[in-house]
Amino acid sequence: MDIERKKKSKGLKSFIYAFSLLAAGLIIWQVLAHKPIETQKIQRDQLFIAEILEGDFDDYISVEGSVVPISTIYLDAYEGGRVVEKYKEEGAFVKKGDVILKLENNSLYEQILMSESNLALKQNDLRSTKLNFEARITESNKELVNSQFAIQRSKRKYDQFKALYQDELISREEFHQAKEDYEKSTQQYDIIDLQHQNDISLQKTTLKELDTDLQRMQRTLKMIYSKLDHLNVRASADGQLGFLDAEVGQNITKGERVGQINILTDYKIEANIDEHYIDRVNQGLEANITRSDKEYTLKLRKVYPEVRDGKFKVEFVFLDQKPETVRNGQGYDLNLKLGESQEGLLVSKGNFFSMTGGQWIYVLDAEQKNAYKRPINIGKQNPKYYHVLGGLSKGEKVIISGYDGFDDAEKIVIQ
């Protein structure tokens, strides 16, 4: 009996526990199901409301650029020195070869005097060497002539004594003396002739070396004279003197940049673009500007790879025509085309994007008295519109102004 009573008591407790859990779950579900939607009330005049449009989405970005000369030539000092004359001022138009600055360099003047002195010494050495060789060769020529006559006399005597010796009219000793005199004179001639040939060869080699040294020194002096001309800083092309960083009395070091010449035969536009677009901006893209109600087309000529302060630099050139009033330093707003136009839904640009990242937006109901938070999908953007890829329909109205003060509410009551 006790066992059966215990079993009945245990089963009753299990039933009561299960029933309690079910009742608690039901209560929680009812609470959650009837939880009120978080709502925020906003005045209508505090909102910017836009309608979802359908049309062509133009894939472009707006870029601010400034006009610069098509090319710039920098003026660097070939030689250092002190500025003694300044013939041109900034902004002046110059012709190729015009002297802009005149420098003086005492060290260069001393170098020229030393080179001229060395050249004069080398010329004197060459002249003296030539005279010495000419005198030496003249003397050797005389010795050759005397030696030839000595050979002739000794040979004639040798031939005579040889005949007399054969006829036994002279002694053997006299004959051998005549023979030895002839052989001696022949050997002496060979020695003198060899010395003479050596003198001629040495003269050619030595004079050639001296002449080469002289020519080298003359070229060196000519180069130094050109350095003297480089003390005149000249315009290397026709154009406008952009800036000139030099004053009379100022010391300029060799290679120092003192100014630049702007070539005004044509112009280009330089601009800085946000690094967000660096993978989409390539050489050859087209852009356009509007000036005096007329549109001009430009081509992206150069993209600089370096990124500074979150931007990278590009250059544009005009394709066919350019504004007649274009001037160096002017600012232009360019529309740079990144891709082809696409048909789709469009929503006007607004501050809502900075908070939502294009993930959601507040959509107004039919009565335009309430707006509800809705997830969306936004693709590319241009200066006017976002390209809507999903979550919205044509004709719907949305809040595009900033969502500060909305407290991430699910519902906005428009008052």
pLDDT value of residue 202: 78
Least Cα distance to 387 among 336, 337, 339, 345 occurs for 345
Instruction: Give the chain's mean pLDDT.
Output: 84
398: left (phi over 0), alpha (psi -120 to 50) or beta: beta
Mean pLDDT within 347-364? 92
Among 33-42, 240-249, 304-313, name the most confident range.
304-313
What count of residues does the chain have? 415
Say if residue 363's pLDDT is above 60: yes
Q: How far is Cα 104 from Cα 252, in angstroms, rounded to an integer?
A: 10
Contact between 148 and 140 (Cβ < 8 Å): no
pLDDT digits (tens, 9 = 90+) for 328-354: 888 999 999 998 888 999 999 999 998
Which residues, including other chains, have CB under 8 Å from residue 406's CB and lie 6 or more apart?
40, 42, 362, 412
Among 168-172, 176-180, 219-223, 393-397, name the most confident range.
393-397
Q: How far is Cα 56 from Cα 86, in angstroms, rounded to an integer?
A: 60
Q: How far is Cα 267 from Cα 317, in angstroms, rounded to an integer?
A: 7
pLDDT value of residue 161: 85
Q: How far is Cα 366 from Cα 91, in angstroms, rounded to an integer?
A: 65
pLDDT digits (tens, 9 = 90+) for 252-281: 898 899 989 988 888 899 999 999 889 999
Least Cα distance to 69 among 322, 263, 244, 237 occurs for 263
Q: Is residue 1 very low, low, confident or very high in pLDDT (cuts 50, 70, 90)? A: very low
The answer to whether domain 39-59+342-414 has CATH 2.40.420.20 is: yes
Among 4-13, 209-218, 392-401, name the most confident range.
392-401
Mean pLDDT within 374-382? 92
Mean pLDDT within 310-314? 94
pLDDT digits (tens, 9 = 90+) for 13-49: 555 555 555 655 555 544 444 446 788 888 888 899 9
Mean pLDDT within 182-196? 85
Say if residue 397's pLDDT is above 90: yes
pLDDT value of residue 393: 93
Q: Is residue 285 very low, low, confident or very high in pLDDT (cuts 50, 70, 90)? A: very high
- Find residue 262's DSSP bridge partners: 72, 240
Higher pLDDT among residues 367 and 127, named by residue: 367
DSSP summary character for residue 267: E
Contact between 386 and 354 (Cβ < 8 Å): no
- Domain spans of the chain, in order of start: 1-35, 39-59+342-414, 61-67+262-337, 107-230
Helices 106-166/172-230 angle, 10° precision: 170
Topology given in CATH for the domain delimited by 61-67+262-337: Elongation Factor Tu (Ef-tu); domain 3 (2.40.30)
Q: Is residue 302 very low, low, confident or very high in pLDDT (cuts 50, 70, 90)? A: very high
Q: What is the DSSP string of 306-326?
A: EEETTEEEEEEEESS---TT-
Which residues, including other chains, have CB under 8 Å from residue 321's CB and lie 6 or more apart?
296
Amino acid at 301: R
54: left (phi over 0), alpha (psi -120 to 50) or beta: beta
Contact between 343 and 56 (Cβ < 8 Å): yes
pLDDT digits (tens, 9 = 90+) for 56-96: 999 999 999 999 888 888 989 888 889 999 999 888 989 99
pLDDT value of residue 114: 83
Least Cα distance to 94 among 229, 236, 233, 230 occurs for 236
Mean pLDDT within 92-120? 85
pLDDT value of residue 2: 47
Higher pLDDT among residues 212 and 376, named by residue: 376
pLDDT value of residue 225: 76
Q: What is the DSSP string of 213-238?
A: HHHHHHHHHHHHHHHHHHTEEE-SSS
Q: How far is Cα 42 from Cα 411, in angstroms, rounded to an integer?
A: 10
